[in-house]
């Protein structure tokens, strides 16, 4: 994931997630336990947001644009 995503297409809650995610990567690279723990401090509901973004990403990039 990167900030190259079309952020303007995302709901605000998911923009928060993407930004928190990228900020966490300044401190921790990769997606190990330490990364998710850090992200959890900024955004306790990160797992829900991540699932939401995964789902939305599939729809945006895999043929969902015509719906
Ligand atoms: Zn990441």
* pLDDT digits 0-9 by tens, 29-62: 999 999 999 999 999 999 999 999 888 877 776 5
Residue 62 lies in a domain: no
Residue 65 lies in a domain: no
Distance between Cα 24 and ligand 1 center (Å): 8
Kindly give the residue spans of alpha helices, DSSP state H, lying in 1-67: 12-27, 33-42, 46-61
Residue 39 lies in a domain: yes
Number of domains in the chain: 1
Distance between Cα 15 and ligand 1 center (Å): 14
Structural domain for 22, as ranges: 10-57
Distance between Cα 32 and ligand 1 center (Å): 10
Distance between Cα 17 and ligand 1 center (Å): 11
Distance between Cα 1 and ligand 1 center (Å): 6
pTM reported for the whole predicted model: 0.72
Task: Name the E strands within 1-67.
Answer: none
Structure-token pair, residue 50: 């991540």
């Amino acid at each position: 994931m990167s900030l190259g995503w079309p952020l303007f297409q995302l709901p605000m809650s998911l923009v928060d997630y993407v930004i928190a995610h990228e900020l966490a990567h300044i401190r921790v690279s990769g997606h190990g336990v330490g990364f998710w723990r850090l992200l959890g401090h900024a955004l306790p509901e990160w797992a829900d947001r991540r699932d939401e973004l995964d789902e939305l990403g599939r729809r945006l990039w895999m043929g969902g644009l015509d719906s």
